[in-house]
Amino acid sequence: MAGGKEPFGTIIQAGGAMRDVQILISTVDWGTTGASCSNEAPNPLIFLQTARGLLLGDLQFAAGTNVLVDTGTLLIEPIVGPLMARGLLMALNFLCITGLLQWFQWFTNAVLTIILFFYLKVNFIDKAMT
């Protein structure tokens, strides 16, 4: 695919893929994606804030006023289907109500970064060392 121009062909293809993803991400109105707290920007200082609610073990089993909404304007239904879209929106709203949405975002970012590191190590670094 790269025409024997490795690793430059791969770098060019990766750059093109990142550009396509950036264009796709910028087309979504992130302020109205369906989550009840999605209009708040992700807070990079979330780990320095005092824990509250569920993170302190404050389990409240009484019937609350929070209703899990399974509708929104996130255009994911054509990709995963209507039932999966409802589940994803409900999960987003649940994470938001419990205050875990930003924690989940940071955890997901950390896991994906670790996976990327190991992928690069196995496919490029280890092969370059031998």
Say if CB 35 and CB 42 are below 8 A apart: no
**pLDDT tens per residue across span 101-125:** 777 877 888 999 999 999 999 998 8
Say if CB 105 and CB 46 are below 8 A apart: no
- Range 52-60 contact pairs with CB under 8 angstroms and sequence separation of 24 or more: 52/99, 53/98, 53/99, 54/98, 54/99, 54/100, 55/99, 55/100, 55/103
127 pLDDT tier (thresholds 50, 70, 90): confident
**pLDDT tens per residue across span 30-58:** 666 555 565 555 555 655 667 666 667 77
SS3 33: coil
**pLDDT tens per residue across span 81-96:** 889 988 888 888 777 7
